[in-house]
Structure 1
Amino acid sequence: MKDIRTLKFLDKFSSLFQRAGVDYSTMRKILQVKLLMDGRRVPTVFNQGAQRKKKKADNEGNGFLKSLWMYAFFGLLTIPFIVLGDNYLFQMSIMFGFVMFIVMTSMIADFSSVLLDIRDKNILYTRPIDKKTISAAKMMHVFIYLFYLTASIVTIPLIVGLFRHGIVFFLLSIILIILMEAFILVLTALIYMLILKFFDGEKLKDIVNYVQIGLSFTIMIGYQVLGRSFEIINFHAVLTPKWWQVFIIPMWFAAPYEVALNGHFDSFYIIFSILAISVPIVAFFVYLRLVPTFEKNLQKLAVHSVAKEKKQSKFGKTIIQLVCSSKEEQAFFRFASIMMKNERDFKLKVYPSLGFAIIMPFIFLFNSLRDGGFSSISDGKGYLTIYSTMIFIPSVIMMLKFSGKYKGAWIYKTLPLGDLSPLFKGTLKAFLVRLYLPMYFIICILFVVIFGGRVIPDLILVLLISALYSVICFIILKKAIPFSESFEAVGQTESWKVFGLMIPIVIFAGLHYLSTLVGFGVYIYIVIMLIANLFLWRKSIRA
């Protein structure tokens, strides 16, 4: 079997695993098989196109490397914080906060399913292999890919930092990034471990999705708190130490730079530096000790409890009849609603984005709170930040064609339908009603509290624009029968389209702003959007 360079590098740390009670040679063989299989089936975050054709073995690695270009581009955004000045606590806190944000979101969206994978039980648990070794292999499998992901983000910035700040900065950054990776991985595993202890069966699977939304909230809010911990005075970032800053984790990993490069040995920097080094290491060994409990509780995911079938309420039936024009469309609406509710892989990838969509408008509002206060916000046009909730619409519409049960799509061919447009309309409307509307109404209630009843026409307008925008996304994105493709078929070409579909949001928001400058402009815009929706929903959604 072909050896892998990553494992050769990992061999240098074999003694650490052995001291932790892990059978390193067995773990290495498990990892070797997993990584070899990944060369044939790349994880979602690294996928290179829709169900690729077979490639030669020497070209398999190229697809993996090409998939990281997007994260390398994101990493370029951190270069100014590394180059400008030597206020390392501020600069590196922002840099580590940015990297942790990207890595944690990838961890939640793409690698949670690996940590919660129970398929190893069928093969490895029947062998005389210690459960701690199996779990360590699983964790290292994720860690290796997270390391590649992080390396693609930070490699160019660190090379720039090497020339700007020297070799000590470069080596210290490598050590701290490895510690950060270990901390993120273990923290995620420990959170899931806590959930597994108290829940089981189908309820557990639902709780996991809600926790992912909560983690999304936490990441976004934490990054905002980090930025507000510093005051900009005469173009210099000034920090006043406070006790609660100990919970801002990126500061832990920034403090060692102040100690090593600026010679600041204040207790504030020393405590944070100790936390940056000790917490990831201690958390790792704590996790290894709790592995048997984790693996035991992980089997709860295999429990398929039968939930009581709930009768559809009269209100629900009325909503379906209002939004769907035909019996076929109503049937597909119900089918898509059930799939979005019960498809765990779909929820793992889509639900976290709901958390971001809910909090994004308020982040933009809070950013302007420092400038003019609450009164200036309530009297202004900050309600236009609600357009940021539309950012996740293209990615969700793109995900509607994927399913973990995609092999059951043969049933579509048995349907007596000459035209599949009711299928597409019903699925799109189910997404808008079941996923988008609940989130949107929560934001609307809070916006009415903040801005008053004057914004209700504007909120109605944005809702109509969201419905129209969903049709535009459907037209531009690759058409496929809903829930008929494997998640492994997610492609980079579609990702480019998703980025391009941000442009219409800006255009719609700009037109909305201009309409507020004209008497009855918003109401005229509402009428135009009503007509446009009626036309596009009837004429543009075709198989």
Structure 2
Amino acid sequence: MTSLILWLLDRIKPLIRLVGADYGQLRAIVQVKLTMDNRRSSVGLGRYGKAKTESNNNFTRILITYTIVGSIISASMLLIPDQDRLFFPLTLQFSYVMALCAMTLISDFSSVILDSSDNQIILPRPVDSRTLWLARIVHITSYLFGIALSLSAGGVLVIAYRFGPIAGLVFLAMSLLSAVLMVFLTNIFYLMLMRFISEEKLREVINYFQIVMAILFYGSYQVLPRLVGQDVLTQALDHQWWHYLIPPMWMAGTVDSVAQPILDSTHLVFIALALIMPFGGLWFMNRFLTTGFTQKLSAIDTESRPESFGATSRRTQPDQTSLLTLVSDWFTTNSLERAAFAFTWRITGRDRKFKLKTYPQLGFGLAYVVAMSFQRDSFGSSGFFYLFALYFAGLYVMVAQYQLGISDNYRASWIYGSAPIKTPGDVLSGSMKALIIKLLLPFYCLLACYILYRYGLDKISDVLLAFSNSLVMLLCTSLLSIRFMPFSVAPDALKQNNTARGLLTSLILAVVGFSHYGLTILPYGTWVALPFSIITFWILLRQYQKTTWERIEMG
């Protein structure tokens, strides 16, 4: 792929020189960036890939997946409407392309856009900021073009088959321009954040934005298809003035004008916006934003120095420590367990990758339950769906526990062996308690509020029993699986155990869930079973706390 991108880059050499960049330097920088990408793991939306050999094919596998999913979506939307009712389905298609490009920029490439190491390594050399900035844009856009092409491949074939090859080529061109437009809008988004948020908070805000966008993206995927039926896709949409403010509608209007064909004033405005805004945005960034963006990145690097971080820690540490000390005193029994509780509590709040892999999964669980409960004439409308929702959410809870053993800084786990720790089970139990109190309890509170609101307050016993049983399942899988110290294993090391762990979790989930359903038939069955479930959880936790070094596998 690197050779193909460099070959295409050679074809637009005059254009690069026209905007004031040094082509030789730009080509060398892009080549190095693409080479380094083959050694980088992809983290977007909770994914993580292997470095070295597997990462070379990681992006290709993602493109194949996007091609299959994009073709299915394109066929379902673009094969239905008549020729004069194509505008709204095209808008949905381009919205999907733009949303996924923006998600990729914010998730996988936020570290690339905000990487200040280029400034320290390259700018002291005779390389101007414009060349460096344009190399960064070319690097990112090359990947977005691949994503846009894969998402639009099915749509190109459908449009070309129904309305001719010219319409298909216009659809392809608009998809690529959508990627260019997302590069411009994302850079504007980052600059606005840099203007109103201090540099030391920027990366944290972006991390939470990634989490929120991932949840919204998945939630929209679950909810919107159930709200937008086939009758909506086949309706003609009257053009309104506010359509000129929606970028996907610019692209949809341009393709619609060729597919019908029609060339009125409304479609001419859409064509002008679709062609001018992406290139105009790049020119605007190149002319006015390059220097400011580079200076902001330098400020980020300055604010990230240990002195500033230490000062910030001293300012924020007392309040956090007092709350953490109070909570740990309530739920732990000895000093070692208390230390593990505090350690896990802090790491789960600071590790960006942990939050990016764990928090969206919990949000996905809530989004799935809400979407399924509103679906009529399906399993979501059955009388016992709330039980399925309570236990199915337990699968997402397992993800958080699974992530407890994983860390990119796993080499620091030598401290466990050098410290005078005689009972590693206290570390495991303290870490588990921190996970339950900080993540699982709030998650189940949100889920319980929705279940009680949706199905009635009489389901309180089912909610309490399901929560206690979920904790039992969590400890069962922990006791039956290989045990690792917190944050002591490389991400790739646990992949080989995924299949066995998944089967084990599903089996335990099925047994406990059907047992709970049987208890609902008996009068006061759930209330009677609740104390036994709590006692079982306490016994399993004590057993987990007795883990010896012989049962621990160090990463």
Same fold (TM over 0.5): yes
**1:378-527 alignment runs, 5 A limit:** 392-418=396-422, 420-442=424-446, 444-445=448-449, 448=452, 453-471=457-475, 480-485=484-489, 489=492, 507=510, 519-523=523-527, 526=530
1:8 Cα deviation (Å)?
1.0
Q: Tell me, yes or no, if the aligned pair for 2:75 and 2:158 is still in contact at 8 Å.
A: no
Structure 2 counterpart of 1:280, one-letter code = P
For the residue of structure 1 that corresponds to 2:12, the secondary structure is helix
Matched, 1:339 2:347: yes
1:108 match: 106
For the residue of structure 1 that corresponds to 2:108, the secondary structure is helix
Q: Tell me, yes or no, if the aligned pair for 2:30 and 2:139 is still in contact at 8 Å.
A: yes
1:191 Cα deviation (Å)?
1.6
**1:116-195 alignment runs, 5 A limit:** 116-155=114-153, 158-159=156-157, 162-163=160-161, 166-195=164-193
Structure 2 counterpart of 1:13, one-letter code = I
Alpha-carbon spacing, 1:224–1:381, altered in 2? closer, same or farther (3 Å): closer
**1:148-297 alignment runs, 5 A limit:** 148-155=146-153, 158-159=156-157, 162-163=160-161, 166-216=164-214, 219=217, 232-233=230-231, 236-237=234-235, 239=237, 249-265=247-263, 271-288=269-286, 289-297=288-296
Q: Tell me, yes or no, if the aligned pair for 1:516 and 1:522 is still in contact at 8 Å.
A: yes
Cα deviation digits, residues 444-475 of structure 1 (max 9, x gap) = 45665565533433433443354345446657
Alpha-carbon spacing, 1:360–1:85, altered in 2? closer, same or farther (3 Å): closer
5+ residue gaps, structure 1, are none
Structure 2 counterpart of 1:339, one-letter code = I
TM-score normalized with structure 1 length: 0.78
Work out the CA distance in 2 between the residues paired with 1:471 and 1:185: 45
1:296 Cα deviation (Å)?
1.3
Equivalent position to 1:74, from 56, 69, 75:
69
Q: Tell me, yes or no, if the aligned pair for 2:79 and 2:158 is still in contact at 8 Å.
A: no
Structure 2 counterpart of 1:118, one-letter code = S
Q: Tell me, yes or no, if the aligned pair for 1:231 and 1:238 is still in contact at 8 Å.
A: no
5+ residue gaps, structure 2, are none
Work out the CA distance in 2 between the residues paired with 1:476 and 1:186: 50
1:310 match: 318
Work out the CA distance in 2 between the residues paired with 1:10 and 1:213: 34
Cα deviation digits, residues 384-417 of structure 1 (max 9, x gap) = 6566755644544444344454442221221233
Which structure's relative contact order is higher, taking Cα pairs within 8 Å and 6+ residues apart? 1
1:334 Cα deviation (Å)?
0.8
Matched, 1:8 2:7: yes
Work out the CA distance in 1 between the residues paired with 2:446 and 2:350: 23
Structure 1 counterpart of 2:277, one-letter code = V
Equivalent position to 1:85, from 80, 84, 100:
80
1:297 Cα deviation (Å)?
1.5
Alpha-carbon spacing, 1:311–1:388, altered in 2? closer, same or farther (3 Å): same
Structure 2 counterpart of 1:460, one-letter code = L
Alpha-carbon spacing, 1:10–1:67, altered in 2? closer, same or farther (3 Å): same
1:190 Cα deviation (Å)?
1.9
Q: Tell me, yes or no, if the aligned pair for 1:48 and 1:67 is still in contact at 8 Å.
A: no
Q: Tell me, yes or no, if the aligned pair for 2:211 and 2:356 is still in contact at 8 Å.
A: no
Work out the CA distance in 2 between the residues paired with 1:478 and 1:186: 47
Q: Larger radius of gyration, structure 1 or 2?
A: 2
1:65 match: 60
1:17 Cα deviation (Å)?
3.5
2:20 match: 21
TM-score normalized with structure 2 length: 0.77
Q: Tell me, yes or no, if the aligned pair for 2:49 and 2:58 is still in contact at 8 Å.
A: no
Work out the CA distance in 2 between the residues paired with 1:76 and 1:226: 18
Alpha-carbon spacing, 1:228–1:393, altered in 2? closer, same or farther (3 Å): closer
Alpha-carbon spacing, 1:243–1:433, altered in 2? closer, same or farther (3 Å): farther
Q: Tell me, yes or no, if the aligned pair for 1:333 and 1:427 is still in contact at 8 Å.
A: yes
Q: Tell me, yes or no, if the aligned pair for 2:410 and 2:489 is still in contact at 8 Å.
A: yes
Work out the CA distance in 1 between the residues paired with 2:397 and 2:278: 36
Structure 2 counterpart of 1:417, one-letter code = I
Name whichever of 313-322 and 194-203 sits farther off: 313-322
1:120 Cα deviation (Å)?
1.7
Structure 1 counterpart of 2:73, one-letter code = T
Work out the CA distance in 2 between the residues paired with 1:243 and 1:4: 45
1:124 Cα deviation (Å)?
1.1
For the residue of structure 1 that corresponds to 2:109, the secondary structure is helix
Work out the CA distance in 2 between the residues paired with 1:299 and 1:475: 48
Q: Tell me, yes or no, if the aligned pair for 1:104 and 1:184 is still in contact at 8 Å.
A: yes
For the residue of structure 2 that corresponds to 1:482, the secondary structure is coil
1:257 Cα deviation (Å)?
3.0
Work out the CA distance in 2 between the residues paired with 1:237 and 1:363: 24
Cα deviation digits, residues 158-179 of structure 1 (max 9, x gap) = 4566556542343223212212
Alpha-carbon spacing, 1:69–1:48, altered in 2? closer, same or farther (3 Å): farther
Name whichever of 410-419 and 452-461 sits farther off: 452-461
Work out the CA distance in 1 between the residues paired with 2:529 and 2:101: 40
Name whichever of 406-415 and 69-78 sits farther off: 69-78
CA RMSD of aligned residues (A): 4.5
1:6 Cα deviation (Å)?
1.0
Name whichever of 76-85 and 505-514 sits farther off: 505-514
Q: Tell me, yes or no, if the aligned pair for 1:395 and 1:498 is still in contact at 8 Å.
A: no
Work out the CA distance in 2 between the residues paired with 1:16 and 1:136: 12
Cα deviation digits, residues 41-73 of structure 1 (max 9, x gap) = 454469986555xx6xxx984465346554445
Percent identity of paired positions between Structure 1 and Structure 2: 26
Alpha-carbon spacing, 1:247–1:461, altered in 2? closer, same or farther (3 Å): farther
Work out the CA distance in 1 between the residues paired with 2:518 and 2:238: 42
Structure 1 counterpart of 2:124, one-letter code = T
1:32 Cα deviation (Å)?
0.3
Work out the CA distance in 2 between the residues paired with 1:319 and 1:91: 52
For the residue of structure 2 that corresponds to 1:290, the secondary structure is helix
For the residue of structure 2 that corresponds to 1:310, the secondary structure is helix
Alpha-carbon spacing, 1:237–1:422, altered in 2? closer, same or farther (3 Å): farther
Q: Tell me, yes or no, if the aligned pair for 1:383 and 1:447 is still in contact at 8 Å.
A: no
1:327 match: 335
Q: Tell me, yes or no, if the aligned pair for 1:161 and 1:170 is still in contact at 8 Å.
A: yes
Work out the CA distance in 1 between the residues paired with 2:277 and 2:498: 36
Q: Tell me, yes or no, if the aligned pair for 1:360 and 1:388 is still in contact at 8 Å.
A: no
2:36 match: 37
Work out the CA distance in 2 between the residues paired with 1:61 and 1:32: 15
Work out the CA distance in 2 between the residues paired with 1:533 and 1:430: 16
Alpha-carbon spacing, 1:117–1:238, altered in 2? closer, same or farther (3 Å): same
How many corresponding residue pairs? 530
1:510 Cα deviation (Å)?
7.3
Alpha-carbon spacing, 1:524–1:44, altered in 2? closer, same or farther (3 Å): same
Q: Tell me, yes or no, if the aligned pair for 2:219 and 2:364 is still in contact at 8 Å.
A: no
